[in-house]
Structure 1
Amino acid sequence: MRLTNVFLALAAATGLAAASLTWSMAAVPPPQPGTLDRYDITGTYVSGLSSGGYLANQLHVAYSGVFQGAGIFSAGPYDCAQNNVNTALYACMDTFQARKTPAELEQLTRNRASAGTVDPVQNLSGDPVWLFHGGADQTVDRVVNDDLATYYRDFGATVLYNTSTAAGHAWISPIGPNSCGSTSSPYVNNCGAVDPVKDMLSHLYGQVNPAASTLTGKLVQFDQSRYVPGGNAAAVSMGREGFAYVPRACETGPCKLMVTLHGCYQYYGLVGNALMDKGYLNEYADTNNMVVLYPQATTMTGNPRGCWDWWGYQSAQYALKTGPQMAAITNMVKALTNGQPPPTTTTTPPVAECVTANNYAHTTAGRAYAALGQTYANGSNQLLGLWNTFTTSSIRQTSPNYWVRC
């Protein structure tokens, strides 16, 4: 989510309806430490916003034998970025540079399926896909989102594409804390009378029951490193903790599984439980027998905004079945669906490199924060000196969103 577009999006029309509707509001329960246990999962789906939307598409395409549908807020087609950050920024968000056409990316997908690096493309035919692009979204251009719709339709997916809401770049929820046209933290917007979460779930599952007003389930906090190839979540820009909301009904009966992926600047280490609390998925999970898995990314060198890897900052295999983040999330899915234990690994976490920069740059990159003219390292709160472009400091990351002086 690019800060250069915040003010444009804030100036856009909000599209809010009169606040006459009453929505069910149920605070997410406090997390309780645990593990990902096996449940009777009858179908697995994926959803996401922005970088999480790109990763949701990557998971759906690469593991189309696992995921039966996708719901995506504001993202482009499979491997649009082509392992290049400039292409990601200037062709797959803005459109200053030329990008691959949907037809070219479809052929790339077929080639990878033939090589076995992604699942057969025939699996996508008939899958329900729900797409959303807000009218005030200046972060990912509409034409890029249009390419995603074309990509899916060409493979025979059943696509429902919402472009009628004047929303900013955000997850849209009837209990979101931000105004509809906003593009600002925590990137969960309220657009009044519309309920895109219900629309998404209805398209993916069929008719859904009304959202719950009180949650009866539990929020499990688990160690993501157990599911990451190599055993070190921070090494692949994933947070120490992940979460799963499990309704009480899913403890004993069949349920669906929804994997939900946050956007940039929306990870737990930065905004806390904002998406889990205000995204309006748990409320539907309770009344529609649905476990919701919330994996978490974090920052690392090359990824200061805590985005999911959709352009290759962590691995050139980011969009393949062997991509580290892709494999980690599917390991979580396997644990929930068939009880498959995570891979056993014994690794020594590498010592993080020191990052030397001026204190203003540290704060804009998410490594530090400013208070009363001084700069402090995120997590450790160590004093780094004056907040300006002249004072430099060296810090390193010892755990997700935890920085110390070198």
Structure 2
Amino acid sequence: MRALSRAVAAVAVALAVVVSSGAAAHAAGTPYTKTPVSGSLGTYNVSSVHVAGVSSGGYMATQLQVAYSARIRGAAIFAAGPYYCAQNTVSQALYACGDNIYPTYVSNLEAYTRTWASYGWIDGVGNLSGQPVYVYHGNSDTVVKKSVTDDLVTYYQRFGASVRYDSAGSAGHAWVTPYGTAGCTATASPFLNDCGTDPQGAFLGKLLGSVRAPNTGPLGGTLIRFSQNAFAVNGFANGLSMDASGFAYVPSACAAGQSCRLLVALHGCAQGYARIGTAFVDRANLNQYADTNNLIVLYPQAISSGVNPNGCWDWWGYLGATNYPIKGGAQVETIMNMVRRLDG
């Protein structure tokens, strides 16, 4: 058991690189920040749902999309590998889904997906055909090797998804954003890197079909801080390695009843509110696009726990249940409960 605990901790470290003082990365009082207000998630006129995530959040984004492909209609994945890559095994997570010492066994992952769909454990795989997917990998990322992300692309293509693969940049292991506080090639807290590019514009264009230029002035919407306990499948988010609070950015047009899209944005390991404040929420370059594109952005939050020391999302089964990547998975269902509230 002690060896397993060390191995689980190693997975978290491998996908996070230990944080020292990430809270210092949170800049306040700038035009792109918004002071959170306490409130509840409402129900809006949502026309479609999409997901995006980085690192462990990228793995969770793929789990959400594959499990609920009839509802979630596209994904943007940064620095992650294929669905069910870890196969509920710590060594596979470490040596195949971060490093590439072991193979990812894409054919097996495809077979699991098709079988689970036939059982009704996930939505039918036909939903993935033609779905827009954006995949990003930086050439300085040594945490998740490029061959692992290549296998993510292959996985999606085997189901007929329409994939755009951006792998020419020099980014480290991070969410790349014009509001990043780290240099492009860094792999360090808060894992928000500025590479002089705008991948958010690229992936939103892919997911939504077209995208308007972002708001570069003061944000016009509302950043809501809400209780995740209200959506947790056990009524207690901390027991699921999730924060008591999550965030949602709601543009004024969406609050007024206009038709809007919904994007679920998932931070990576050591990137949640408990580690770096609202740095990811502020600097992900999503609220800026939300204002001009009628896009609600949901920011669920994970936290550290005994089996999850770096606040990663559960993509290798650290909560102890084998159903983590399918319908009924504790974190998958908790996030989907938030989606269900927002889109009615």
- TM-score over 0.5 for the pair: yes
Alignment partners' CA distance in 2, 1:61 and 1:235: 25
Alignment partners' CA distance in 1, 2:127 and 2:229: 30
Q: 2:204 aligned to 165, 188, 201, which one?
A: 201
Cα deviation digits, residues 192-244 of structure 1 (max 9, x gap): 1x111100101111221111022100000000011011101011100010000
Corresponding residue SS for 1:44: strand
Correspondences of 1:282-301 after superposition (within 5 Å): 282-301=287-306
Alignment partners' CA distance in 2, 1:299 and 1:49: 17
Q: Which amino acid aligns with 2:333?
A: A
Alignment partners' CA distance in 1, 2:133 and 2:115: 22
Alignment partners' CA distance in 2, 1:56 and 1:48: 6
In structure 2, what is the equivalent of residue 319 of structure 1?
Answer: 325
Q: Is the 8 A contact 2:16 2:268 kept in 1?
A: no
Kindly indicate whether structure 1 or structure 2 has the higher relative contact order, using CA contacts under 8 Å at least 6 residues apart: 2
Cα shift at 1:2: 3.9
Corresponding residue SS for 1:226: coil
Query: Identity over aligned residues, as a percent?
Result: 47
Alignment partners' CA distance in 2, 1:168 and 1:237: 26
In structure 1, what is the equivalent of residue 190 of structure 2?
Answer: 186
In structure 1, what is the equivalent of residue 223 of structure 2?
Answer: 219
Q: Which amino acid aligns with 1:247?
A: P
Q: 1:134 aligned to 134, 138, 146, which one?
A: 138
Corresponding residue SS for 1:227: coil
Q: Which amino acid aligns with 1:57?
A: T
In structure 2, what is the equivalent of residue 333 of structure 1?
Answer: 339
Cα deviation digits, residues 228-284 of structure 1 (max 9, x gap): 111010111000100000000101211000000000010110100011111100000
Alignment partners' CA distance in 1, 2:214 and 2:181: 18
Alignment partners' CA distance in 2, 1:290 and 1:77: 27
Distance 1:227 1:157, change over 3 A: same
Q: Is the 8 A contact 2:16 2:270 kept in 1?
A: no
TM-score by length of 1: 0.77
Provide structure 2 residue ranges, at least 5 long, that are not aligned to the other structure.
1-11, 19-29
Distance 1:113 1:251, change over 3 A: same
Cα shift at 1:99: 3.0
In structure 2, what is the equivalent of residue 64 of structure 1?
Answer: 69
Correspondences of 1:27-46 after superposition (within 5 Å): 27-46=32-51
In structure 1, what is the equivalent of residue 280 of structure 2?
Answer: 275
Cα shift at 1:168: 0.4
Alignment partners' CA distance in 2, 1:154 and 1:72: 17
In structure 2, what is the equivalent of residue 262 of structure 1?
Answer: 267
Q: Is the 8 A contact 2:79 2:149 kept in 1?
A: yes
Alignment partners' CA distance in 2, 1:139 and 1:103: 23
Correspondences of 1:111-126 after superposition (within 5 Å): 111-126=115-130
Alignment partners' CA distance in 2, 1:32 and 1:196: 28
In structure 2, what is the equivalent of residue 152 of structure 1?
Answer: 156
Q: Is the 8 A contact 1:5 1:138 kept in 2?
A: no
Cα shift at 1:28: 2.2
Corresponding residue SS for 2:302: coil
Structure 1 vs Structure 2 CA RMSD? 1.5
| 1:234 matched to 2:238 | yes
Cα shift at 1:299: 1.1
In structure 1, what is the equivalent of residue 27 of structure 2?
Answer: none
Alignment partners' CA distance in 1, 2:15 and 2:119: 40
Cα deviation digits, residues 355-400 of structure 1 (max 9, x gap): xxxxxxxxxxxxxxxxxxxxxxxxxxxxxxxxxxxxxxxxxxxxxx
Distance 1:110 1:5, change over 3 A: closer
Q: Is the 8 A contact 2:16 2:310 kept in 1?
A: no
In structure 2, what is the equivalent of residue 92 of structure 1?
Answer: 97
Q: Which amino acid aligns with 1:35?
A: S
Moved over 3 A (4+): 1-7
Corresponding residue SS for 1:69: strand
Q: Is the 8 A contact 2:14 2:98 kept in 1?
A: no
TM-score by length of 2: 0.90
Cα deviation digits, residues 140-168 of structure 1 (max 9, x gap): 01001001100101101000000011000
Cα shift at 1:90: 1.0
